[in-house]
Structure 1
Amino acid sequence: MCFGLPMTIIETDGMCALCEYGSERRRVSVMLLSEPPVGAKVLVHVDTAVRLLDDETARLIAEALDGLDAALSGHDCDRFFADLIGQEPQLPEHLR
């Protein structure tokens, strides 16, 4: 399984960018995007920025990753997934 990280560009030369997520910094390719500016939030897979993110989407992805980390560490993760508590998964209509 591969996860994308919502990272923030802190410097770029148009081809590569130094991005950060929490305390992690890494240099990633931004060649799939149209010259994202410093401060832009991007979704990074395997050291490649694959799409621009708005602030809300970046926040939701970061919270989901924090929730996954909490669950894998044996900690309470309900607060990260409050919108899912008490809801049963629903099959698509064609599978019912």
Structure 2
Amino acid sequence: MCVGIPMQVLSVNGIAARATDGEDETLIDLTLTGAVAPGTWVLTHLGAAREVLEAGEAVKIAAAVRALKSIMAGGGVGDAFADLEARAPALPPHLETARAAGKTTA
């Protein structure tokens, strides 16, 4: 399984950037996102920035990653998924339309 890690860009040098996840600082490749300014949040996989993130989304993803690390170490999830627990499950719009129309098969 591949897990994306949100990182905040500290400095940029061409297609490379120094970034931090709040604990570690590393060099990342910006080829897929293009130029970004220091302070920008990006989702990284295997040392490469894959997409630019809004700060709020980066915080949610970071909390989920911390919760997964905690579970793997025998701990609990805390409130990492509170935004999901606070709402009822929802179907994607096209499936909700089909369900509301009474369709139960493809």
Q: Which residue number in structure 2 is paired with residue 70 of structure 1?
A: 70
In the alignment, the residues of structure 2 paired with residue 54 and residue 86 of structure 1 have an alpha-carbon distance, to the nearest angstrom, of 21
Q: Which residue number in structure 2 is paired with residue 59 of structure 1?
A: 59
Q: Which residue number in structure 2 is paired with residue 9 of structure 1?
A: 9
**Is the contact made by 1:19 and 1:25 (CA closer than 8 Å) also made in structure 2?**
yes
**Is the contact made by 1:17 and 1:27 (CA closer than 8 Å) also made in structure 2?**
yes
Query: How many residues are matched?
Result: 96
Residue deviations 1:46-92 (CA, integer Å, cap 9, x gap): 11101100001100100100111111122121421224448887786
Structure 1 unaligned spans of 5+: none
User: Following TM superposition, by how much is the alpha carbon of 1:28 offset from its aligned partner in structure 2, in angstroms?
Assistant: 0.8
Q: Which residue number in structure 1 is paired with residue 38 of structure 2?
A: 38
The residue type paired with residue 11 of structure 1 is S
In the alignment, the residues of structure 2 paired with residue 77 and residue 17 of structure 1 have an alpha-carbon distance, to the nearest angstrom, of 31
TM-score by length of 1: 0.83
Structure 2 unaligned spans of 5+: none
CA RMSD, 1 decimal: 2.4
The structure number with the bigger radius of gyration is: 2
Distance change >3 Å, CA 14–CA 84, structure 1 → 2: same
**Is the contact made by 2:60 and 2:80 (CA closer than 8 Å) also made in structure 1?**
no
Distance change >3 Å, CA 79–CA 7, structure 1 → 2: same
**Is the contact made by 1:14 and 1:36 (CA closer than 8 Å) also made in structure 2?**
no
The residue type paired with residue 16 of structure 1 is A
Instruction: Quote the sequence identity (%).
Output: 28
